Amino acid sequence: MSDNVFDLLTALEQDFNAQAALVDSKDKLEEIRVRFLGKKSEINSVLKGLKDMEPEARKVMGARASAFRENVERFIKSRETELVNLDIAREIEAAGGFDITLPGDYGLKGSMHPITIVARELTQIFTSMGFNVVDGPELESEYYNFEALNVPADHPARDMQDTYWCDNGQLLRTQTSTCQIRAMEKFGAPLKIIAPGRCFRNESIDASHENTFFQFEGMVIDKDVSISNLIYCMKQLLSKFFQKDVEVRLRPGFFPFVEPGFELDLKCMICGGKGCPTCKQSGWIELLPCGMVHPNVLRAGGIDPEEYTGFAFGGGLTRLAMMRYGIRDIRVLNSGDIRVMEQFNKVIY
């Protein structure tokens, strides 16, 4: 019996070697697979015959039969890859030499505008601190833009903001502070909101001023809110946003809707405080006007100033983007210059 198994396996090996040399297509390769590895293949007959052999002979012939089967499997796998490459080579030749396996020329993937990136980062920071995100219309009424913010018709602060007025008596909002009143009317107290958005002022355009720009407005109203809470909130914001220590200064500032009011200035990150056109040679950038909410503003929002206090702050998203990315001129951000925006794109691989 062992001689019969030996002769059969030897004949199979010789036959396989002869047939393997002739495989030049997927169909012939499939014939090889069925003949030598299929359920009705002769190798299965060899394996079935091992049970009738002596232990020592079974061990030797079993190892030889397994090696043969593994050899056939390796050949089929290797030859299958070779045939695929051969088909590709034929397609390349038929296409005039163009290699269809080469990677294509990928374009640049679109990206968010740097101001949008900054706005989303700030939103994430504030929502992690328990703030709610609110919004308001860009076309506003005089009441929400001025009067409810303690800026009556004859108030000199109106001269500080060159406003775009519309024929219907409305205006393009000059500040995101308009969202404060709407949020108080809608939610009442206590309140923690952040409102990023676009603003408009008829200003002379230079390296740090535009007639269309972006701000974010924040407000906290609750019982026993103090300036200490305001300072803590500002420190948390700056440390998380810039992810490093930054130098700031707090100085008195006048804003009709807060009392007392402050200006939080950031040492210019373009020039390092030496002075440049961006900071108007001062070394500092006005970043976060802030203060305690004026009682008249609380009343306009339907909140009793005898029971609640609060602080508010507003910053320039546009200026934050300039500081973050080292952009020296604000006009670049509204230019639509594709060469600028491409710097915020990532190549698709």
Q: Which residue has the tokens 């609640």?
A: 308
318 contacts: CB under 8 Å, gap ≥ 6: 115, 210, 213, 214, 330, 333
**Average of pLDDT values for 302-326?**
89
CB 266 within 8 A of CB 250: no
Provide the pairing of β-strand 284-293 with 258-267: antiparallel
Q: What is the average per-residue pLDDT within 255-280?
A: 86
> pLDDT tens digits for 95-115?
666 666 667 666 656 677 888
For the chain, give me the number of helices (H) and strands (E)?
11, 11
Q: What CA–CA distance (Å, rounded) separates 15 from 35?
A: 11
- What is the pLDDT confidence band of residue 142, given thresholds at 50, 70 and 90? very high
- The position carrying tokens 């509204």 is 334
Query: Do the Cβ atoms of 226 and 309 come closer than 8 Å?
Result: yes
Q: 341: pLDDT confidence band, cut at 50, 70 and 90?
A: confident
Please report which residue ranges of 147-304 form alpha helices under DSSP H: 178-187, 227-242, 295-300
pLDDT at 296 (0 to 100)? 95
Q: Tell whether omega for the bond before 256 is within 30 degrees of 0, i.e. cis.
A: no
Q: What are phi and psi of 301, to 5 degrees?
A: -90, 5
DSSP string, 133-190: E----SEE-HHHHTGGGT--TT-GGGGGS---B-TTS-EE-S-TTHHHHHHHHHH-SS
Q: Domain-by-domain residue ranges, the chain? A: 2-94, 114-347
pLDDT tens, 2-46? 556 677 778 878 888 888 888 888 888 888 888 877 777 777 777
- More confident site: 117 or 205: 117
CATH superfamily of 114-347: Bira Bifunctional Protein; Domain 2 (3.30.930.10)
Mean pLDDT score, 208-226: 88
Output the pLDDT for position 349.
28
Rounded distance between C-alpha atoms, residue 104 and residue 97, angstroms = 16
Looking at residue 347, its pLDDT comes to 34
* DSSP-based three-state secondary structure for 44: helix
The reported pLDDT for the residue numbered 32 is 82
